[in-house]
């Protein structure tokens, strides 16, 4: 595991977030959507970046909803996978959730993304439900959750 620095991201980091997402996701978020979140949903959606040697290597987008925290997107630079970056981002998300009084973390994963499903299960996430035709291409999603306390 390589230790990374994790910090809040603002508009100045939006291009880096979009670039990592483009490398990491089958349906990456466009830069315009990320900027819109940062400008219009400030405080509602929070981006945490993982940094190694001053460069961004991953990020997580979070949205607190009442007593739950939702992971909207988590992406790690493919060249930096298996470094523990994703685990550290989920750890930071857990701290963020606890500070806001959230007792659970929820997320959705593509049913075909076995690597992500195994990753989240290893961190203690459990399957809650199958989301039929959840993604724009008709693929099913798996809703997962982690009880924090």
Residue 43 has pLDDT above 90, yes or no: no
Predicted confidence (pLDDT) per residue in 24-40, tens digit: 988 899 999 999 999 99
Angle separating helix axes 14-24 and 31-40, nearest 10 degrees: 140
In the structure, what pLDDT confidence band is assigned to residue 137 with cuts at 50, 70 and 90? confident
Cα–Cα dist 112/110, whole Å: 5
The total of other beta-carbon atoms located within 10 Å of residue 134's CB is 17
Cα–Cα dist 133/75, whole Å: 22
The per-residue pLDDT for 94 is 97
Q: What is the mean pLDDT of the chain?
A: 94
What kind of fold does domain 5-110 have according to CATH? Answer: Aminopeptidase (3.40.630)
The per-residue pLDDT for 119 is 95
Which of 77, 108, 89, 101 lies closest to 8, judged by CA? 89
In the structure, what pLDDT confidence band is assigned to residue 149 with cuts at 50, 70 and 90? confident
Q: Which residue ranges make up each domain of the chain?
A: 5-110
Predicted confidence (pLDDT) per residue in 61-115, tens digit: 999 998 999 999 999 999 988 889 999 999 999 999 999 999 999 999 999 999 9
The per-residue pLDDT for 102 is 95
Predicted model pTM: 0.93
């Amino acid at each position: 595991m390589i230790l990374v620095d994790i910090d809040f991201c603002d508009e100045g980091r939006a291009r880096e977030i979009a670039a990592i997402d483009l490398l990491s996701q089958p349906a990456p978020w466009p830069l315009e959507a990320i900027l819109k979140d940062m400008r219009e949903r400030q405080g509602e959606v929070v981006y945490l970046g993982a940094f190694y040697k001053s460069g961004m290597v991953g990020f997580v987008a979070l949205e607190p909803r009442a007593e739950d925290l939702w992971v909207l997107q988590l992406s790690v630079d493919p060249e930096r996978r298996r470094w523990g970056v994703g685990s550290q981002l989920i750890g930071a998300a857990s701290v963020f959730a606890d500070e806001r009084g959230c007792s659970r973390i929820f997320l959705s994963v593509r049913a075909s993304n076995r690597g992500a499903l195994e990753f989240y299960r290893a961190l203690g996430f459990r399957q809650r439900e199958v989301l039929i035709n959840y993604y724009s291409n008709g693929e099913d999603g798996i809703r997962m959750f982690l009880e924090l306390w």
